[in-house]
Amino acid sequence: MLSFQLIPLFFAFAAPLVSAGPPLFVRKYEGCDTSKAVMDLPPNQTTLVAPATAPLFVLLGVGVQNYTCSGTTFASIGAVASLFDISCLAGTSKFASIQNTAFNVWDHVPSSVPSTAIGPLVGAPYLDGFHYFVTSPLRHGYLAQMGFHLYRVAGDLASQVFRIDTVNGQPPTSCVAGSPPISVKYTSKYYLF
């Protein structure tokens, strides 16, 4: 079994700020059945092991993974994503491919459109919060694309977080030394246990 460095994941959940604009977060419906939200893990991998219980929440992440040019290859310098609650979509025809649908929209909107606008466009209107990675080297290749598992997550919301079904987010294979940092759009599902 492969050993991986635990990557700190921070969720920023906050109450809406009082402002003249619309609230940043929309209250989700409560009591959605997540028992049909089964993680679609490839059968040939042994790194990720799904818990035997149903997830507490399933979220759609829409964001960017950031890279800097280190020598002639890109190195991760973090990621940021908006998290939309898709727990109520479990068991529907939209659930299996919502990350693909969201990426198709996210990849084709102008750069001025924030990630917070994508959820409502794909049937996931409930923005639950944000996540970001602190600067830390990430795995590259197949396992980074497939997903990761965090355990002993700080806080009371969940003790384990799985990111799977990631679409895009990988940098080009090479870069020219001195190139500016880049942001690569991605979408993914986050299962919270």
Domain definitions of the chain by residue range:
47-192
Cβ–Cβ under 8 Å, residues 51 and 103: no
Residues of the chain with pLDDT under 50: 1-28, 137-146, 148-151
Taking the alpha carbons at both ends of the chain, their separation in whole angstroms is 22
pLDDT number for residue 167: 97
Predicted model pTM: 0.77
Quote the tokens at residue 175: 């870069």
Q: Is 180 helix (H, G, I), strand (E, B) or coil?
A: coil
DSSP-assigned letters across all residues of 77-135:
EEEEEEEEE-GGGTTSTTGGGHHHHHHHHHHHS-TTS-GGGHHHHTT---EEEEEEEPS
Cβ–Cβ under 8 Å, residues 175 and 73: yes
pLDDT number for residue 85: 96
